[in-house]
Amino acid sequence: RTVYVNGEYLPETEAKVSIFDRAFLMADGVYEVTSVLGGKLIDFDGHANRLDRSLGELEMKAPLTKDELLEIHRELVRENEIEDGLVYLQITRGAPGDRDFAYPDPDTPPTVVLFTQSKPGLADSAQSKEGIKVISIEDQRWGRRDIKTVQLLFPSMGKMMAKKAGADDAWMVEDGAVTEGTSNNAYIIKGDTIITRHLSNDILHGITRAAVLRFAREAQMKVEERPFTIEEAQAADEAFVTSASAFVMPVVEIDGAAIGDGTPGARTARLREIYLDESRKTAV
Ligand code: PMP
């Protein structure tokens, strides 16, 4: 596989970053994951805009223009012959030398890394037909979840808690309400209404979330952006999560309680279809 590191395209075995990199020592970096369907990037603009926002919140300069980033994404997709899969992008505050809590000089060159992952049949996975089971756990992450940093240890622990409990993922709960999944935004459907937590610093502003809510409103579905509890979710008609790599994924069980009849809901399936159809049209 060919990867991109700081201006160079290299075989993955030859790519190197410094042990002093701020992301390695302090998780001081941001990332994006953009999915690829039919060799094209889904919602590239949304991801590029969120990347800019994450960099801004951490007082980092964008080292490349949006067009340059798009070209690197495309080159890797071409070079690695990715039909379905994803492109991972990470930008860190670089490797200034000595370890220091203070940010280094703003002119320290950032580290830019991109690589692809091939996932044949990504849009047609068995999981998307069966749905996933989630457990609830307390949200123990930091308070700036709107910044997409590489500081992912708690979500990783949450995923392992889910696996140990025989589930697929965890929904995190804070002050009695669901924030989001370990790597996705969380939704329930009651009657004709889609309910998902409002945007704030408490959750990542999902690019898939923005698109799905737009398509839902265009399809005359009602949307309520507000917190909801696990009890409300367990009593809902349908539940699902969204992310760039899972698209719209049905949730069929929460803490052992079946949602609806325990199979993926009809509205969720329709949203998934609309999302995939519409986002393929604007893929680049
Ligand atoms: N929330 C969290 C915590 C995530 O890690 C992700 C995926 N990166 C999402 C939501 C979904 O965001 P997106 O739709 O932009 O992939």
Using CA positions, which residue lies closest to atom 3 of ligand 1?
A: 183
Residue 148 annotated to the active site: yes
CATH 3.30.470.10, applies to 2-120: yes
Q: Domain ranges in the chain?
A: 2-120, 126-281
Ligand 1 atom 4: residue of nearest CA: 183
Regarding the beta carbon of 54 and ligand 1, being less than 6 Å apart is answered no
**pLDDT by 10s per residue, the chain, length 284:** 999 999 999 999 999 999 999 999 999 999 999 999 999 999 999 999 999 999 999 999 999 999 999 999 999 999 999 999 999 999 999 999 899 999 999 999 999 999 999 999 999 999 999 999 999 999 999 999 999 999 999 999 999 999 999 999 999 999 999 999 999 999 999 999 999 999 999 999 999 999 999 999 999 999 999 999 999 999 999 999 999 999 999 999 999 999 999 999 999 999 999 999 999 999 99
- pLDDT given at position 217: 97
Please tell me if the CB atom of residue 204 comes closer than 6 angstroms to any atom of ligand 1. Answer: yes
Backbone torsions φ then ψ of 178, nearest 5 degrees: -70, 130
| Catalytic residue (choose from 40, 148, 190, 281) | 148
Measured from the CB, is residue 35 less than 6 Å from ligand 1?
Answer: no
The CATH architecture one would assign to domain 126-281 is Alpha-Beta Barrel (3.20)
Residue 97 confidence (pLDDT):
85
